[in-house]
């Protein structure tokens, strides 16, 4: 770092006076002397003394380009070389670099001197660098707080919020803050007497963090999913359903989005909306066991017999499990649909030969259909299994 600063000073000595920004011609005699003295001490690396003279310049000319750039570099150097004052020095450097950036950002490149172009490029890098360095400081302090119990959590959190104020579109501090808030929430949840009011406040803060994730990266599927899940956890079902709908539009082949949407509207008692969304899932993800199970479930809730039968048959074609066959066979028996009952009770018996119930239902269906051979066969099987138990 010191080698870099020596190079910086060497370049500074060669600065030209052709630019309106860095020229001393427009300064008062007092400011000119202060700038000259500041440059002398700056070149000798007597930074504290040079800073004093530069501050005299800024008292009269707070937007003087050259002076702000040099003070910013001094503050940055101090931050890099003194951990005790690093955070505050980075912030002071940021303020000065921001002034330099604001002065140069709207100037056409052709109208800049070579030094101004270099300053502008360096300032942009330094602003990003300061954000990254403060984030590292905050993360390090939080790790120390977690592992050693040393530090002030409020002050650490304040650093992340400061980063957000410096650059509201940088997602990193939001992500780390979300993690910290979740940790604090888990600590409360695992305590003997959880403070519900504090937990609610933390949930609101976490929700706000997730909303910023989505604002910054609206096309990020995982970020929106976490935001939607937090809305669901907080029982904000209407808003959660809207977010899950957006997820389905952006990622129509992911079953989890449909499932979460359906679960959300189900919590509001809207089985029809859940069923309709699962119909869409069935179109986009055909022959999916989870989708068909959901369609069977919501058909039953809606008492839609036609749909229940249709999707139960499709489900069993894909997964002829004893559980699926049992549920459908009971439905068929209850509704006296004996032709289908015989078919599916037989399938159930094949899948679960130690269970006497499918044999009993198959015998019942065969009897009602006057199918003597099958009746005798399944009646015998039912008797054998009954005796064996």
pLDDT in tens, 338-356: 999 999 999 999 999 999 9
Please give the C-alpha separations between residue 223 and each of 62, 115, 185, 208, 370, in angstroms, as whole numbers: 42, 42, 20, 12, 61
- Enter the DSSP assignment of 235: T
Provide the pLDDT for residue 43. 84
pLDDT at 44: 83
Q: What is the DSSP letter of 20?
A: T
Q: What per-residue confidence (pLDDT) applies to 115?
A: 86
Dump pLDDT digits (tens) for 37-80: 998 888 888 888 999 999 999 999 999 999 999 999 999 999 99
pLDDT tens for residues 221-245?
A: 999 999 999 999 999 999 999 999 9
pLDDT of residue 16: 37
User: Cβ distance 257 to 225 under 8 Å?
Assistant: yes
**Residue 21 pLDDT exceeds 90:** no
Share of the chain above pLDDT 70, in %: 94
CB 219 within 8 A of CB 196: no
Task: For residue 363, give every residue at least 6 positions away whose Cβ sits within 8 Å of its Cβ, in sequence order, or none.
Answer: 374, 375, 378, 379, 381, 382
Structurally, what CATH architecture does the domain formed by 1-145 represent? Alpha Horseshoe (1.25)
Architecture of the CATH domain 320-389:
Alpha Horseshoe (1.25)
Sequence spans of domains, the chain: 1-145, 320-389
End-to-end CA distance of the chain: 84
> What pLDDT does residue 277 have?
98
pLDDT score, position 386? 93
| pTM for the model | 0.81
Q: What angle do CA 358, 304, 275 make, to 5 degrees?
A: 105
Do the two domains 1-145 and 320-389 of this chain adopt the same fold?
yes
pLDDT at 109: 86
Distance from C-alpha of 372 to C-alpha of 185, rounded to nearest angstrom? 67
Given a cut of 60, is residue 25 above it in pLDDT?
Answer: no
CA nearest neighbour of 91 among 134, 53, 124: 134
């Amino acid at each position: 770092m010191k080698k870099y600063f020596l190079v910086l000073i060497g370049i500074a000595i060669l600065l030209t006076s052709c630019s309106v920004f860095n020229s001393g011609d427009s300064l008062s005699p007092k400011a000119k002397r202060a700038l000259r003295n500041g440059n002398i001490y700056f070149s000798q690396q007597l930074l504290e003394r040079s800073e004093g003279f530069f501050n005299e310049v800024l008292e009269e000319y707070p937007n003087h380009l050259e002076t702000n750039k040099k003070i910013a570099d001094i503050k940055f150097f101090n931050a890099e070389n003194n951990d005790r004052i690093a955070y505050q020095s980075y912030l002071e450097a940021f303020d000065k670099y921001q002034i330099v950036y604001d002065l140069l950002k709207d100037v056409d490149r052709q109208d800049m001197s070579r030094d101004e172009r270099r300053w502008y490029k360096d300032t942009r890098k330094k602003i990003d660098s300061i954000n990254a360095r403060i984030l590292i400081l905050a993360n390090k302090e939080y790790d120390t707080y977690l592992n050693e119990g040393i530090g002030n959590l409020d002050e650490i959190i304040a650093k992340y919020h400061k980063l957000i104020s410096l650059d509201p579109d940088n997602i990193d501090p939001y992500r780390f803050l979300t993690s910290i808030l979740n940790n604090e929430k888990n600590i409360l949840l695992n305590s003997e007497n959880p403070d519900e009011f504090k937990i609610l406040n933390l949930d609101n803060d976490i929700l706000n963090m997730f909303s910023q994730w989505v604002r910054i990266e609206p096309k990020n599927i995982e970020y929106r999913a976490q935001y939607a899940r937090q809305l669901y956890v907080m029982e904000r079902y209407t808003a959660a359903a809207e977010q899950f709908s957006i997820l389905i539009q952006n990622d129509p082949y992911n079953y989890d989005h449909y499932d979460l949407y359906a679960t959300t509207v189900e919590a509001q008692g809207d089985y029809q909306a859940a069923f309709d969304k699962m119909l869409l899932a069935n179109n986009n993800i055909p022959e999916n066991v989870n989708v068909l199970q959901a369609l069977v479930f919501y058909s039953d809730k809606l008492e839609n017999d036609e749909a229940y039968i249709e999707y139960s048959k499709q489900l069993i074609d894909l997964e002829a499990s004893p559980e699926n066959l049992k549920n459908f066979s009971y439905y068929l028996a209850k509704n006296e649909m004996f032709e289908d009952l015989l078919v599916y009770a037989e399938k159930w018996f094949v899948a679960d030969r130690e269970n006497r119930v499918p044999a009993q239902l198959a015998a019942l269906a065969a009897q009602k259909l006057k199918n003597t051979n099958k009746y005798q066969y399944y009646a015998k099987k039912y008797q054998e299994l009954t005796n064996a138990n």
